[in-house]
Amino acid sequence: MKSIKAIVLGSLFIVVVILLLQLAYIFIAVGYNALAKSYPYLHEISGIFRYLVGIPVFVVIMFIGGYITADIAGERVLLHALAVGVLTSSGMIIPTLEYASLTITGVVIFILAVGASMAGGWHCQKANKVAGHE
């Protein structure tokens, strides 16, 4: 039961935070597009900006989700963090495959997400060992 709780809560954290950030992104994009009407060069950097900010934020969220999962699971933390990483990343990528094909960027982001989730679990495990909780 503890394993299921850890996976559900870690996944729920990731999904809720990602959805909230997507909502914030929509508001920022509307303002950015309004600003770009007056400054056309802003159109050129919008894609770069999205990757420079979006991917690191996504990786940090996956890391925190893996950490939360590991903290709740207590044992076999890397397996639990892997499950959360694969579950949430797949849940984000698979629905898009209905309308688009998988790209190299998608594969890289999937690998980064799963790796970040496992790194969060590993960091939690390491922190717990240092603190003497295990």
For residues 10 and 73, give the distance between their C-alpha atoms in angstroms, rounded to a whole number: 10
Q: How many domains does the chain have?
A: 1
Range of the domain at 43: 2-131
Contact by Cβ (8 Å): 10, 81: yes
Q: Provide the 10 A C-beta neighbour count for residue 100.
A: 9
For residues 74 and 80, give the distance between their C-alpha atoms in angstroms, rounded to a whole number: 10
Each of the 134 residues of the chain gets a pLDDT tens digit; together they read 888 999 999 999 999 999 999 999 888 888 877 877 787 777 777 777 778 888 899 999 999 999 999 999 988 999 999 999 999 999 988 888 888 888 898 899 999 999 999 999 999 999 888 777 65
pTM assigned to the model: 0.85
Burial class (CB in 10 A: 0-12, 13-18, 19+), 54: middle
Residue 64, CA distances (Å) to 15, 21, 31, 98, 123 in order: 12, 15, 29, 29, 10
